[in-house]
Amino acid sequence: ELKVEQNPLFLSMQEGKNYTIYCNYSTTSDRLYWYRQDPGKSLESLFVLLSNGAVKQEGRLMASLDTKARLSTLHITAAVHDLSATYFCAVDSEPDTGTASKLTFGTGTRLQVTL
Amino acid sequence: NAGVMQNPRHLVRRRGQEARLRCSPMKGHSHVYWYRQLPEEGLKFMVYLQKENIIDESGMPKERFSAEFPKEGPSILRIQQVVRGDSAAYFCASSQTWGRTEAFFGQGTRLTVV
C-alpha cells in the first residue's frame, strides 16, 4: 500500500522567512502533485511534477521531485500572509496506466504565516 | 468552460437518512473520481468511474456506499442510512478520456450528519 508522509504537519513562520515542506512516499512513482487548500474550500492545483529532477516555480513557491529518494519538496521563499493555507502533496498510485488515476494524499501541512 | 460542479455544497442529514451527492465533470471529461476528506486529514480515494462503469472501488466502504456514472447526467455518490462518522467533505475530480492527464477537483460537498 502506498504511503505518503508530509512534514511538518504544522508550520508557523514569520513573513519574509524561508522554509521547506517535505513529502516522502513509499513506492515508485514519477508523478506527483502539490495542492493548496484554504479552509472550507476545494483544492487548488499548484504543481505537477512528472519526472525525476523536475523543478517548477511559481511566485514564492518552488517544488522539486527526486524519484530515486522518493521525495518531493515545496520551498517557500520570503513568505507572505497570503500563503497561509494547508498544502498537500499527492502521488499517482498507478503511474503505468494510460489515464489519470487515483491519488494518494499526504496528511497535509498547515502553514500559518504571521506578520 | 465550467469546472467540475458538485451539488449540493452543504448537506445536512439525520442519522438513518440517505445522502445523494452529485458531480458533473468538466466538459469533455469522462473519468470521475470521488474522494472523502475527514476533518484535519488529507483526501482519501473512494472510487473511480468512467461512463457506465466502475473501474476501481477499492476505497469504498463495503456497506451503505454506492456510486454510479450513467451515460447521461452527473455522477452520483449515494450513502444510505448515514451515521455520524459519515460527516466529511466529499470531493469529486474529473479527467479527460485519454493520456495521463491531470484531474481537476470540484468545490466539494460538506455532509453533516446530525
Nearest to A102 among B56, B107, B110 (CB): B56
Give the bridge partners for A111, in sequence order. A11, A85
Q: Could you read off the pLDDT of A20-46 as tens digits, one per residue?
A: 999 999 987 778 999 999 988 889 999
3-state secondary structure of A6: strand
* Chain A residue with the nearest C-alpha to that of B92: A42
pLDDT in tens, B28-80: 888 999 999 998 888 999 999 998 999 889 999 999 999 999 999 999 999 99
In one letter, which amino acid is A64?
Answer: S
Question: 55-114 in A: which are within 8 Å (CB) of B?
Answer: 88, 90, 92-93, 95, 97-108
Q: Report chain A residues whose CB lies below 8 A from the CB of B56.
A: 101-102
CB-CB contact of A105 with A4 (8 Å) = yes
Residue numbers of A between 27 and 66 with CB closer than 8 Å to B: 31, 33, 40-43, 45, 48
Residue written as grid cell 488515476: A101
Reduced to 3 states (helix: H, G, I; strand: E, B; else coil), residue B69 is coil
A106/B105 touch (CB, cutoff 8 Å), yes or no: no
Mean pLDDT (whole number) for A108-112: 95
